[in-house]
Amino acid sequence: MKRILTLVLIFIVYAASAQENVKASFRKYPIGTTGCNIYFPSEPGEWKIEKSEDGSDVYTNTVEADGLVYDAIVVQFVAPFLNSSREDLETLLISYLDYLYSTMEVAEKVGYGKGQLLQGNTDATGVIDYWKWADGSQGKIKGWITDSHLAVLLVSGTSDPSDKTSTDVFLNGFRFPEK
């Protein structure tokens, strides 16, 4: 009887610890009719769609999982920036990130890390930064751009999200439409 009780207790402790260590499972989800896809830790539901001042479609969504907030902004340009250099596109992306920085009331930032490369897409260029708000919350942000789309991905939380594998899965899991 003691052995059975011991085995039951071991099983209960193991099951309880396994429940605490369950992490979100990332899956690929389409972003409206953009042809883009993103890896989120759970079902994102409906995307909010608005028009920018120039008529571009702007898709936004937020998912919370495991104490972190995963935000995505995806812009499908009204007309592609054909024949634009990688540097010109990177400048446009930084301009958009600067705008977000000012509107989101970020207190501190590290500074842009330029020249990020997106696996499987030689046309894309990216920029990374680390932000901190006055309330102590922190975020790791990465933007991606091609001549037809722009994406800004942000993972934030009360603790530094930059050392979590899930953060990199999200920030590097964006996929532009296949050509």
Domain range summary for the chain, segments of one domain joined by +? 24-172
pLDDT at 163: 83
In CATH, 24-172 is 3.40.30? no
The answer to whether the predicted template modeling score (pTM) of the entire model surpasses 0.75 is yes
Are 43 and 114 in contact by the 8 Å Cβ rule? The answer is: no
Q: What's the rounded Cα separation, in Å, for the pair 132 and 33?
A: 33
Q: What's the rounded Cα separation, in Å, for the pair 44 and 42?
A: 6
pLDDT < 50: residue spans in the chain: 1-22
Q: What's the rounded Cα separation, in Å, for the pair 17 and 139?
A: 28
Q: Which residue has the tokens 């296949």?
A: 178
The b-or-e profile of 132-155 (16+ CB within 10 A means b, else e) is beeeebbbbbbbbbbbbbbbbbbb
pLDDT at 20: 34
Q: Which residue has the tokens 């899991």?
A: 173
